[in-house]
Amino acid sequence: MSVLVGKKAPSFSATAVVNGEDLVEDFSLDQYVGKNHVLFFFYPKDFTFVCPTELHAFQSKLDEFEARGVKVVACSTDTEESHWGWLQMSKADGGIQGITYPIVADTSKTISANYGVLAGDYDVDEEGNLIATGPMIAYRGLFLIDKEGTVQHQIVNNFPLGRSVNEALRMVDALLHFEEKGEVCPANWEKGQDAMKDTHEGVADYLASH
C-alpha cells in the first residue's frame, strides 16, 4: 500500500458518469488544479451494500464540500455502463439515483493501482497466462488533494468498513484552516475551535489554555 501524502496525486484520464447520466470521456482531476481542492474516493463495487451508503452520504454533504470549494469525485473498477445503470436505480431499491458528483470508471484498474488501493495483483502462470491474485477491486481509499494537486490526507479501509463523511469534512476544514491561518490543528479539532501556532511556544500556549 503506497503512501501518497506529500506527493502529487497520480494523473489519469478515464470515462466518468457526471450528473447521474452524462458520460464524459477523458475525465481527469487535472481540470481542478489551481482551482479547487478535491476529495477523491474509491469504493469496491457497484450494486453492493455498504457502497451505496457511502455514496449517498457524500451526496448529502455535497453542498458543504462545494461551499468550501472542494470537488467530490468517486471511482471504482466497474465500467461506465455499470455506473450508469446503478445511477438509474432508486435508493429504495439499493441504487444510487440522485448522485450528481462524477463517478470514474477505472476499467483498466490502473487508477486504483497507481493510488495504491487495488486489492490484488496480476501474476503469470507457467503457460504465460495472467492470473489475478486477488479480487482486483479497490479498497475504500480516500484522498484529499489540494489546489496544487498534492495529496494532503489519505485513509484506506478494508471492504467491510464504511467511512465517516463527517470526518472527511473535518479534514477539509483542518486543511483550509492551516492554509488560511498558518495554524496547525490538534487532536479532535473542529471548525471554529482554537488551533495552534507551529512553534514550541504556540503549542505550550495552546496546552496551557486547555
Strand partners, 14: 27
Supply 198's cell numbers: 507551529
What burial letters (b/e) apply to 114-147, b meaning 16+ CB within 10 Å? bbbbbbeeeeeeeeeeeeeeeeebbbbbbbbbbe
Residues in the chain, overall count: 210
The beta-strand segments (E) located in the chain are 14-18, 22-27, 37-42, 70-76, 103-105, 118-119, 122-124, 130-132, 137-138, 140-145, 151-157, 183-184, 196-197
51 catalytic per annotation: yes
Helices (H), the chain: 50-60, 62-67, 80-87, 110-114, 165-181, 200-209
Which candidate, 98, 72, 83, 75, places its Cα nearest to that of 19?
A: 98
Question: What is residue 1's three-state secondary structure?
Answer: coil
User: Cα(104)–Cα(89) distance, rounded to whole angstroms?
Assistant: 18
Q: Pick the catalytic residue: 4, 51, 55, 165? A: 51
| Enzyme catalytic residues | 51
